[in-house]
Structure 1
Amino acid sequence: MTFDKAYCEELGGNVTAYKARREFFAQNDLDFKFSFFCPDENCNVELTGVNIYAIGKVKHKPHFRTKKNCSHSYDCSIVEELDKEAKSIDKGSTTAASHGQKSNKYPDEFILKRPKKENQNKSEQSDDDDFDIEPREKIKSTTTTTTDAKPHKTSYLENVVDSYEDMNEQERKEAYITLNAQRRSYHSTFKKIQYFQDGENFIFYGEIEPIKVYGDNYSITFKDRVWIDNKPYPVNMYITDDLISNYRLSRLFRESIDTLAKQGSNSKDARCYFVGSYPEVKEIQRKEGNIFTVYEVVISNLDHLVIKFEK
């Protein structure tokens, strides 16, 4: 049985797998692991975090599952909800436990700028504080219709990207998400980099060339060129050491990009997603004196950049 959320003792509340993943890579103890339990306050069955501590491409997106040979309490509200969802999806099914899967709801709103929270001890906290931590309580019963379901908001681009890659083409056309107050299907929200001139309010993506390393800095170039005035131009981005060092998840990002850079031309299907930035024309003068024109993406927030690849 799999879950999107779990109660985490160390974080003091119910968290998503993406929140747990970020908190893990934000600390320096490589041997530290979180303790996870059922989100229902009356059910203390232990859960396992799946792909929370992984770097690179994984087969399944981060989630939680019930440990083997462990059972939820007889009145666990989580199991009751899964049972209702399973029956609404397939009238011929018996219980959610028989399927061993939860019917996951894809995020339907991406929060580009996280709100800051006030605190008694500090005037304001960081953008990644307890915004995604919920109190542990018995889950209230909900209806099974999509229109009445509670909105699933996320500020983690990785969550949205994983959902997009998890969908087939039909699901991408049927599932909707709000980005900067504009609601569109996943299919219409994700835009291939060569079509960036269609507008700014998209999640851009594309396969990338082998990453080039310049000291502690990195250069990323998309394989597909953009055609402007019947001429092809490359689209790239330059990730500086300062930007990475000041990032809360610098260990995760640096380990990921170093792993990919070392693969060089052996990397398979490496692709990059970004949001909140837009390619701008840039002219570079070479040593020979001629001018080289590129379109550069200036990334100021690494939360808005996701790189996927196979290890």
Structure 2
Amino acid sequence: MKFDTAYSLSLDEKLSIYDVRDLNFDETTAFDSDKDSFLCPNDECRATFDTGNALSTFNAKNVNYLRTPHFKNKTSTRHIDGCRYASTHKTTTGENDDEREENFPSEWLLTRRQYERKNPVVGTEGNVPLDPTKAPSSRISTPLPASDTAPDKTSVFAHPVECYVSNIDDKDKLKSMPLKIGDHTATYWTFFKKIEYLQDNKGLIYWGKIKAIKDYTSSFRIDFEKKVWLDRKPYSVNVYLSKKLIENYRKRKAFLEQIKAAADSERPLYCFFYGVTPELQQVPSKKNPDQTFGVFSANIENLDHLIIREAPGVEGL
């Protein structure tokens, strides 16, 4: 059985797997999911067992992943009778439920969630028994539901993107699931807009297939395959990632590893971003500096709101 939320022993909070991924790559936070213990999100079930009764974290540390990240039971994980997280079959790496994200957050928070460590990090060999008389805290810095189910809100962009991509074959679901970003509420289907239709509306999550990634050593430009038509003319679309933006990014190492691998990759990759809308600009021609040509371009303002990844199935849209 796979699920999205688990209790972190070191942070004394219930985290989504996307929170865990975000923390693993954050260079400003001392966090390593391999040294933490993740336990059942059901408070009653968790208090029954010691901290060695842990879960596994699938794709928690892979910079690039092909299958939906999640928590899952180990073969040794135990649950109390009636716990909704109890697995009725043997957990294996090849489970077919790894392919779809079913925990849709109804709101994506643009302000990043903050974490405050409450307990020392412990490895699986140094676990300390959990006192069943102490109810584990469900406190979190950014208000989320106190239940053991998946959080209704997320501040990690990868979560709504994974919901969209992994459910791309179920348009009815995407058209029925609500999503709030800032003051605007719509469906997942409405919020995600193909890059070639960026003129339709602003303030959406734009995405498209990458044509090329230009590596300027300390900065990058992402060129999209599809063009935008304006006044019966096609215009190229790109987004620019500045040196200052990258150097100040809290996940700089992971991001550089990912984008450089993407630049050299021959696999079809897609870019999703939010917060800026490419606008038509006139740029000088390299061959003829006195001449200009039009291109839809934007400078990315927040790398937390940009993702480069594979997205099988979206080509059929």
Q: Normalising by structure 2, report the TM-score.
A: 0.76
CA contact (8 A) 1:272 1:307 kept: yes
Which residues of structure 1 form unaligned runs of 5+? 84-95, 115-126, 143-148
Q: Match of 1:273, SS?
A: strand
In structure 2, the CA distance between the partners of 1:63 and 1:275, relative to structure 1 (3 Å rule), is: same
Instruction: Supply the distance in 2 between the matched residues of 1:308 and 1:285 (Cα, whole angstroms).
Output: 31
Alignment CA distance shift 1:32-1:186 (3 Å):
closer
Q: Distance in 1 between matches of 2:177 and 2:32?
A: 38
Distance 1:140 1:280, change over 3 A: closer
User: Is it true that 1:26 corresponds to 2:41 in the alignment?
Assistant: no
Is residue 70 of structure 1 aligned with residue 61 of structure 2?
Answer: no
2:207, 2:60 → 1: CA distance?
A: 23
Cα distance between partner residues in 2 of 1:256 and 1:178: 28
Give the distance between the partners of 1:141 and 1:99, measured in 2 at CA.
26
Equivalent position amino acid for 1:97 in 2: T
1:132 and 1:3 mapped to 2: Cα distance?
23
1:66 and 1:196, CA in 2 relative to 1: closer, same or farther beyond 3 A?
same
Contact 1:180 1:201 in 2 (8 A): no
Task: Quote the Cα distance in structure 2 between the aligned partners of 1:301 and 1:273.
Answer: 12
Q: Look up the equivalent residue of 1:222 and give its one-letter code.
A: F
1:246-265 matched pairs, under 5 angstroms: 246-263=248-265
Q: Give the Å deviation of 1:209.
A: 1.0
Distance in 2 (CA, whole Å) between partners of 1:18 and 1:150 is: 11
The answer on whether the counterparts of 2:103 and 2:163 sit within 8 Å (CA) in structure 1 is no
The alpha-carbon deviation at position 11 of structure 1 amounts to 2.4
Could you say if the C-alpha distance between residues 202 and 278 of structure 1 is closer, same or farther in structure 2, counting changes exceeding 3 Å? same
Equivalence for 1:269: 268
What are the ranges of 5 or more consecutive residues in structure 2 without an aligned counterpart?
A: 92-96, 119-135, 140-144, 312-317
For residues 97-137 of structure 1, what are the alpha-carbon distances to aligned partners after superposition, in whole Å with 9 as ceiling and x for unaligned?
Answer: 3597799431111122x1xxxxxxxxxxxx44229999349
Q: Percent identity?
A: 30
TM-score if structure 1 supplies the norm length? 0.77
The alpha-carbon distance between structure 1 residues 132 and 235, as it changes in their structure 2 partners (threshold 3 A), is farther
Are the aligned partners of 1:273 and 1:306 in contact in 2 as well (CA < 8 Å)? yes
What SS class does the counterpart of residue 234 from structure 1 fall into? strand
Aligned equivalents of 2:83, 2:200: Cα separation in 1: 45
Would the aligned equivalents of 2:40 and 2:85 in 1 still touch at CA under 8 Å?
no
Query: Displacement, 1:243?
Result: 0.8
User: Which piece of structure 1 moves more, 149-158 or 234-243?
Assistant: 149-158
Question: How far did 1:258 drift?
Answer: 1.0
Of the three residues 129, 137, 145, the one matched with 2:114 is 129
Q: CA–CA distance in 2 between the matches of 1:211 and 1:2?
A: 35
Name the CA distance, whole Å, in 1 between partners of 2:308 and 2:16: 20
The answer as to whether partners of 1:233 and 1:295 remain within 8 angstroms in 2 is: yes
The residue that corresponds to 2:192 in the other structure is 190
Separation in 1, partners of 2:115, 2:32:
23
How far has the Cα of 1:241 moved from its partner?
Answer: 2.5
Residue 154 of structure 1: CA displacement?
A: 1.2
Q: How many equivalent pairs are there?
A: 270
2-structure distance, mates of 1:65, 1:232: 47
Which residue does 1:50 correspond to in 2?
Answer: 58
User: 3-state DSSP class of the match of 2:268?
Assistant: strand
Instruction: Tell me which residue corresponds to 1:6.
Output: 6
User: Does the CA contact (< 8 Å) of 1:200 and 1:278 recur in 2?
Assistant: yes
Taking the aligned partners of 1:131 and 1:190, their CA distance within structure 2 comes to 32
Q: Which amino acid aligns with 1:282?
A: Q
Residue 213 of structure 2 aligns with an amino acid whose one-letter code is I
- Range moving further from structure 2, 2-11 or 49-58: 2-11
Show the counterpart of 2:94.
none
Instruction: State whether residues 239 and 300 of structure 2, in contact with CA within 8 Å, keep that contact through their aligned partners in structure 1.
Output: yes
The SS at the match of 1:130 is coil
Q: 1:46-125 residue pairs with structure 2 within 5 A?
A: 46-59=54-67, 61-74=68-81, 80-82=83-85, 97=88, 104-112=102-110, 114=111
- SS of 1:300's equivalent in the other structure is coil
The question of whether the paired residues in 1 share the 8 Å contact of 2:212 and 2:224 is answered with no
Separation of aligned partners in 1, 2:83 and 2:194: 41
- Who is 2:291 aligned against? 290
